[in-house]
Amino acid sequence: MTTVPILDSPSSSGSDTLPTNENNPNGSSTKPSTFRSALNHLKTDITLSHADIPIIACCFVSGLCDSSAYNAWGCFVSMQTGNTIFLALGASGQPITRPYGWVKSLVSISLFLFGCFAFANTRYIKPKARGTLAVSFFLQSACIIVAAALVQSNVVPSPKGVVVINGSDIDFLELLPLAFLAFQSGGQIVTSRLLGFNEVPTTVLTSVYCDLASDPKLLARDNVKRNRRFAAVVCILVGGIAGGWISRSAAGLQTNLWIAAGIKMAISLGWSVWKPKGEQL
């Protein structure tokens, strides 16, 4: 009796080693692209653990920029309460040494408000996402860079100081860096609000002083909000001191602005790689 050999069928075990595209008929890799991975990375919300540190760093930037702007142009770019008083004094033509000081204050207030409005719209595009925060601080840094470049290149004349002899000494080109600096200041206070760090407004200290003095747990061992407020006061003070000394040195006003821009850029990069929500630093 002759034995007939049985041929292997296509479904035999040997076919298991052959490549298959059952899950992807087009034969393309199922691994996400680099672009999509980066996009997903930037769309991820950050953890709020230690996220107060960049916000407190913004207080140093405010001190640096405000001391520089006031010393050079007699105007604030972050603390708008002082600008509001300067604007009010302008209604009576005071102070007589700064006849057009109210114009600078008005520009600063207006651009600060516009900055708050513009950056507040990030609430509609994942305000706590890495990418949103990184882009926000990149734009803030870019505004300071423009202001620094205007001063560095002498497009804006070297400041003559707070006191001027008469109105003809005022150069309205000074409004350009003031506008950029005030606009970016609106971005940092909006971010502090969106992240929930209302105790660190970054641009003003009156409410912070009040909250510190009236805190029933002021001397408690564990009081995170008190610690943040105290750090904000120290950073604005140190930033103001540094800004004053650098301005009077050979480095000049522009150096303060370059430092401020560098800090904002570093914060932007930090947000882009911040730990995701649910993870602790």
Task: Enumerate helices (H) and strands (E) in the chain, giving the number of each.
Answer: 9, 0
Mean pLDDT, range 85-111, rounded to an integer: 89
In this predicted structure, what is the pLDDT of residue 20? Answer: 47
Helices 253-272, 224-248: axis angle to 10 degrees equals 140
Residue 224 included in any domain: yes
Q: Name the nearest CA neighbour of 129 among 55, 191, 188, 42.
A: 42
- Asked whether residue 279 is assigned to any structural domain, the reply reads no
- Tokens matching residue 280: 């602790």
With respect to residue 66, please indicate whether it lies within any of the assigned structural domains. yes
Average pLDDT score over residue span 213-232: 95
Distance in Å from the first CA to the final CA of the chain: 79
Cβ atoms of 75 and 112 closer than 8 Å: no
CATH number of the domain within which 223 lies: 1.20.1250
Residue 183 lies in a domain: yes
**pLDDT value of position 172:** 81
Q: Which residues contact 47 (CB under 8 A, 6 or more apart)?
A: 274, 275, 276, 277, 278, 279, 280, 281
Percentage of the chain lying above the pLDDT 70 cut: 83
- Residue with structure tokens 């506008």? 179
| Domain, as residue range, for 237 | 46-272
Strand partners for 129: 45
Q: How confident is the model at residue 101 (pLDDT cuts 50, 70, 90)?
A: confident
What backbone phi and psi angles, to 5 degrees, belong to 122?
-65, -10
Residue 155 has which token pair? Answer: 């497009």
pLDDT of 33 reads 84
Q: Is residue 164 in some structural domain? A: yes
Give a yes or no: residue 254 inside a domain: yes
Comparison of pLDDT for 11 and 205, the residue scoring more: 205
Mean pLDDT lowest among 120-129, 162-171, 269-278: 162-171
In a domain, 128, yes or no: yes
- Give me the residues paired with residue 276 across strands: 46
User: Among 13-17, 27-31, 33-37, 200-204, which is the least confidently predicted range?
Assistant: 13-17
| Cross-strand partners of 46 | 276
**What's the sign of the alpha-carbon dihedral 39, 44, 50, 53?**
positive
Per-residue pLDDT at 99 exceeds 50 = yes
Tens digits of per-residue pLDDT, 32-45? 689 889 888 999 99
Residue 17 lies in a domain: no
Q: Is the confidence at residue 122, as pLDDT, over 50?
A: yes
Task: Report whether pLDDT(6) > 80.
Answer: no
Looking at every residue in the chain, the average pLDDT score rounds to: 87
Joined tokens for residue 64:
């640096």
CA–CA distance, 134 with 127 (Å, rounded to integer):
10
Q: Into how many domains does the chain fold?
A: 1
